[in-house]
Amino acid sequence: MIAQCFIYSGERPSSYRVVTLFGDVLLCYRQTAPARGFLLKGRWNFRDTGGISIVSNTKDMIVELVEDKAVIALAERAHREAFPDIPVLAFDIIRDCETGSLYVLECHAGGTWMFSSDTGLAIEAANNIDFRAQFGAVEKAAKIIARETPLRAIAASPFHDRR
């Protein structure tokens, strides 16, 4: 594919952000652009509005914590299969509101620690939510790191048979 296909997420642009640590979810939220001007009433209704933005991650986006099992499973699977050696990833996922199909739009390997960054704290404050509380992120991260450390230490050993 040379150009990304348009995926209709609804009248107001909406997408998901899923943060994973070695393929296990730490955070999942939906971000929706607030209503400004015209709504996109259908997949092909751009002419009716004269064109509108289809970006969901805006400065004034509405963020809500969600536990969408299908979205989480897609992010976890993508992390484990495509990037198993990158510890923390943030996936941007979109759902076609007419078909229900899910698509990974982007995967971010940098700047994804939403639990203490200025960006994460600002999103929490603006939306009155607590990222750390959703899945017990700090405690869960500690367990994941404890699980992964011996496995990765053995694999990195010069005495480990890599065949």
CATH number of residue 24's parent domain: 3.30.470.20
In a domain, residue 8? The reply is no
Instruction: Considering only residues 49 and 145, tell me which one the structure prediction assigns the higher pLDDT.
Output: 145
Q: What is the pLDDT of residue 84?
A: 93
Q: What is the pLDDT of residue 48?
A: 66
In a domain, residue 124? The reply is yes
Q: How confident is the model at residue 108 (pLDDT cuts 50, 70, 90)?
A: very high
In a domain, residue 117? The reply is yes
Domain range spanning residue 139? Answer: 14-156
Q: How confident is the model at residue 113 (pLDDT cuts 50, 70, 90)?
A: confident
Q: What is the pLDDT of residue 11?
A: 77
Average pLDDT of the residues of the chain: 86
Q: Does the pLDDT value for residue 125 go beyond 90? A: yes
In a domain, residue 161? The reply is no
In a domain, residue 163? The reply is no
Q: How confident is the model at residue 4 (pLDDT cuts 50, 70, 90)?
A: confident
Q: How confident is the model at residue 66 (pLDDT cuts 50, 70, 90)?
A: very high
In a domain, residue 3? The reply is no
**What is the reported pTM?**
0.85
- CA dist 97 and 43 (Å) reads 9
In a domain, residue 70? The reply is yes
In a domain, residue 139? The reply is yes
How many independent structural domains does the chain possess? 1
Instruction: Considering only residues 36 and 150, tell me which one the structure prediction assigns the higher pLDDT.
Output: 150
